[in-house]
Amino acid sequence: MKKLSLLFLVILIGLLISACGNGALYGQSPPLKPSDDAPVVEPDVATETAEVAIYFSDWQAQHVIPEFRELESGETNLAKRVVLEFLKGPEQPHLHRTFPEDTELIGVEIKEEIAYVNFKSGISIPGTAGEAAAIRSLFLTLTDLPGVEMVQVLVEGRSDVSFGGHYLLSEPWERPEIVTYPVFMDEERAKWLQDRAEDGFETWRFNPEEVAAKEGRMLGFSSETEFELIGIIQDTVPTASVKAIHMGEEYIIEMIQPLEKGEAGVWMIIECSIGS
């Protein structure tokens, strides 16, 4: 009798364990299989970005000024994406595109530190100043990128290129040289930059050394140029001088604070000269 009772108890325990495994206890439902239509949730992947300088003309086509943008960096062709951004034109007011709005890009390829930029035909840029600004803006934009030392412009694969008849681009060109002459300040742009900095954007404009390093690229300087603040003179119109060492040569960048003074005022470049 005891053996039968023991056998009955073992069978009962086995049934209970089986029921637990099937989720039949305490009102539990058996586990659901994932639906084939259920969306797949991909893990978030951190996206790396790079700050690039894209150059556009000032109000007089005297200089081309860098506009800084954040682009995703990765295995894709960064140089091509930079040129496409360049062709979109400036985002900031008081800057002007240097290429026609309908310019079409075929592709960009980098070989042996030369960026080959291939456009579709039909580009026409009138005037010597306009053509010079277009060339300088494109070449500064591309030679700012790592691994690009020269630029070769092509039109549908041909190298006998001239956008306006004043400059022949049949050979690769190096980064444009440093320009050493006065910069005619755009007062409206200065006011816009002052308001923007006060709102917390591009606050580096309050620091003359940083202005030289960033906006000084309009003069031809690069990320490899070394900058050092010489001094600030607090006057009716405050002035600052920054020394730049570029490829072994010394230059002096002069700036003023046209609006606010001290730590509250943005600095604007007004001249670049060869150092002693």
pLDDT band at 265 (very low <50, low <70, confident <90, very high): very high
Rounded to two decimals, the pTM is 0.81
How many Cα atoms are found within 13 Å in the side-chain-facing hemisphere of 273? 8
76 has a pLDDT exceeding 70 = no
pLDDT number for residue 72: 84
20 has a pLDDT exceeding 70 = no
DSSP letter string, 141-192: HHHTSTT--EEEEEETTB----SSSS----S-EEPPPPP-S-----HHHHHH
pLDDT number for residue 59: 87
Q: What is the pLDDT of residues 27-49, one digit of tens each?
A: 444 444 545 555 555 555 556 88
Q: What is the pLDDT of residues 172-230, one digit of tens each?
A: 999 999 999 899 999 999 999 999 999 999 999 999 999 999 999 999 999 999 999 99
H or E element in which residue 108 lies: strand 105-111
Q: What is the mean pLDDT of residues 78-104?
A: 96
